[in-house]
Structure 1
Amino acid sequence: LVMGRITWDFRRLKDDDWGSRCILMPTMRNITRLLIERNHWDYFDVGVPYPTGFHPETPSDVVLWQNFVLSRERHTLFCFAGAPRRNYPNDFRGLLLSQCRDSGDSCRAVNCIGTRCANGTTEILETFVDSDFCLQPRGDSFTRRSIFDCLVAGSIPVFFWRRSAYYQYEWFLPAEPESYSVFIHRNDVKNGTLIKNVLEKYSKEEVKKMREKVVEFIPKIIYAKP
């Protein structure tokens, strides 16, 4: 069964909570469910990629795009597209934006305050395509569409929660997380670890190999034309 939202929207525990109790109904217990975010404790939940703004019409279009992002000369070490959550205590996104600003030319930020980035913008794509790495904190839940915008652009994702990707998309992403991504625990960042310093330790050859793995998997994370 294909369900077009995150699993938590179908696991309402109280009548006044958001969403429905659909997945908790007895008739749903043994049905395989395809969702853009899964509960990794539930065997029947299967995480599938978020749809992106990349809509190739033919397989050759995909190959052309792969060649483009693989050969693209990138001028920025890392980037972040997101909005601060000022009403949240210890706002992690705000911390990432601050580190990005403090990193000078090594980081490029797109501040998605309000609805500026709701449906993707050219600025976001240009930012990802021009950066070696892209920061991917959790969204309103553990995952966010930006992960797949980043991958399609051939940029290497940097995760801070393992549940943002590693426990979500086993059918679609490489089995070895370190082959295509970087993991920095969020608490390390909160305690003063500089993302720029971590990413600068990767050699050009290591970055090249990781990008090749990202680009190799692009056909597995995009949706075919019906």
Structure 2
Amino acid sequence: KPSAFFSASRFFRRDPCAGRYVYMYDLPPRFNADLVRQCDRVSISSDVCKDVSHDGFGPPITGGGEGGSLPERGAYDTDQFMLSIIFHARMRRYECLTADPAAAAVVYIPFYAGLDAAMHLDNKDLAARDALSRDLMDWLAQRPEWRAMGGRDHLLVSGRGTWDFLRSPDSTGWGNTLMTYDLAIRNATFLSTDASPRHGNDFAVPFPSHFHPSSDAEVTDWQDRMRRLDRAWLWCFAGWPRAHGVGMGPERAQIIEQCGKSSRCSLLGKLNNYVPMRLLESAKFCMQPRGDGYTRKSTFDSILAGCIPVFFHPVSAYLQYTWHLPRDYRTYSVFIPHGDVVGRNFSIEEVLRRIPSEKVAQMRERVIQLIPTVMYRHPAAKGLTFKDAFDVALDRVLHRVAKRRRAAAEGREYVDSVDGRDSWKYDRMLEDGQNKIGPHEFDQY
């Protein structure tokens, strides 16, 4: 017969989900499932119906794909804009979901904002471009869960860069007004793949790459494979010149020109889906200039390939992915200011050649160690011991909302230390115990 002490200890056993419960709205299908069913309307240039399959992972890739550049298991032809679907699939299987919103630490809004935005990006009818976002805000405003904290405990994953949701309501510019239509929506926490330096409520998370493992063994096997690779090229670039976007013109042109003249660099202009992986796995350093936005999916393809990323602007990674990448960027990457490459004609290759081989080996090992942190595991996987990009992001959202709850209990508003200008959100780089960050090496940007 169990002792009274044993029974009491079982009764008072700590709830493993305490402080981690998430309530997920059962949204009307027009906000998610209907958008998937209308996948053929999202883009005329790509097969989005293929991309939304398998919970947003896209079609499975068998046999390691072309050239055997991917794992034998867990590889998918994943599109960079499917994160809202991928996140929803994980959340449906989250071990701490609750049907009681009063018990929830965070309230999750499974709106496929990225699919909606993509469907209307070129639509000159602004009312049509904004319609579903405004419909969502009207729907949320009627919910007691939203009114309880004015949305301060709510989470939304956009699936695209923040820039696609920041159009001013009185503007005819790019994107829709999801993040600007109503001041109340700014209380929610947004996760995007390319965050804005001006807004305190959006946070960058990794682009989905092509490996979505179901076991620890699949991850460690891949990491070991990346350690053993013989990398024939010193550096490489997978990309082409840009006629538009923040990385247009000289920056990419210089990279392409210098690479083309070097016998130690390999260049690939064709970037269809997972094709660049073979190139990234064959080089020690992978160039990551800016693209349409500040960030690139290729950054995370490079990490998956065990290739040391080289950045030319701090907002391409260091001031974006502060939740997922180490604060000391020198441990896993190389930074060459874009002004040195464009204005001062620095040789990229000379910078890389000067790095001692022992340091290169240490950096590559750090990159390989980061692989689990920046990938999105299969939603049905069980028993994994590592935290993936979803786990890391949700931990930080739970922490952020907890601080907001404590502030509300004290009768004050918790606000991220963003001044509304191009602050680059330095507050997210604060060391433990710091309250304010001083002069910073990235101030000039």
- Flag whether TM exceeds 0.5 (same fold): yes
**Counterpart residue type for residue 172 of structure 2:** D
Distance 1:181 1:11, change over 3 A: same
Match status 1:120 vs 2:237: no
Larger RCO (CA under 8 A, 6+ residues apart): 1
Match status 1:62 vs 2:214: no
Stretches of structure 2 that go unaligned for 5 or more consecutive residues are 1-155, 380-445
Does the 8 A contact of 1:85 with 1:91 survive in 2?
no
Q: CA deviation at 1:91?
A: 3.4
Structure possessing the higher radius of gyration over alpha carbons: 2
**Counterpart residue type for residue 156 of structure 1:** I
User: Which is strand-richer, 1 or 2?
Assistant: 1
Match of 1:18 in 2: 174
Distance 1:40 1:70, change over 3 A: farther
Q: What percent of counterpart residues are identical?
A: 39
**Rounded Cα–Cα distance in structure 2 between residues aligned with 1:143 and 1:118:** 18
Correspondence for 1:167 among 315, 319, 332: 319
Match status 1:5 vs 2:163: no
Does the 8 A contact of 1:86 with 1:94 survive in 2?
no
Correspondence for 2:354 among 196, 201, 213: 201
Deviations 1:26-62 (A, max 9, x none): 1211111111111133221111000111222322111
Could you tell me the TM-score, scaled by structure 1's length?
Answer: 0.92
Deviations 1:188-223 (A, max 9, x none): 111210000000001111001001111111101000
Stretches of structure 1 that go unaligned for 5 or more consecutive residues are none
Correspondence for 2:336 among 159, 184, 196: 184
Determine helix, strand or coil for the equivalent of 2:287.
Answer: strand
Deviations 1:170-198 (A, max 9, x none): 11111100000000011111121000000
Determine helix, strand or coil for the equivalent of 2:315.
Answer: helix
Match of 2:196 in 1: 39
Does the 8 A contact of 2:244 with 2:292 survive in 1?
no
Q: CA deviation at 1:149?
A: 0.5
Does the 8 A contact of 2:295 with 2:315 survive in 1?
yes
Correspondence for 1:97 among 250, 256, 259: 256
**Rounded Cα–Cα distance in structure 2 between residues aligned with 1:51 and 1:160:** 22
The CA RMSD measured in Å over matched residues stands at 1.5
Deviations 1:78-114 (A, max 9, x none): 000001125787432122111001111x1010013xx
Give the stretch that moved more between structures: 146-155 or 85-94. 85-94
**Counterpart residue type for residue 283 of structure 2:** S
Match of 2:376 in 1: 223
Distance 1:179 1:87, change over 3 A: closer
**Rounded Cα–Cα distance in structure 2 between residues aligned with 1:38 and 1:193:** 29
Q: CA deviation at 1:139?
A: 0.9
**Rounded Cα–Cα distance in structure 1 between residues aligned with 2:173 and 2:227:** 45
**Rounded Cα–Cα distance in structure 1 between residues aligned with 2:222 and 2:249:** 39
Match status 1:49 vs 2:202: no
Could you tell me the TM-score, scaled by structure 2's length?
Answer: 0.48
Q: How many residues of Structure 1 are paired with residues of Structure 2 in the alignment?
A: 219
Correspondence for 1:81 among 228, 235, 238: 238
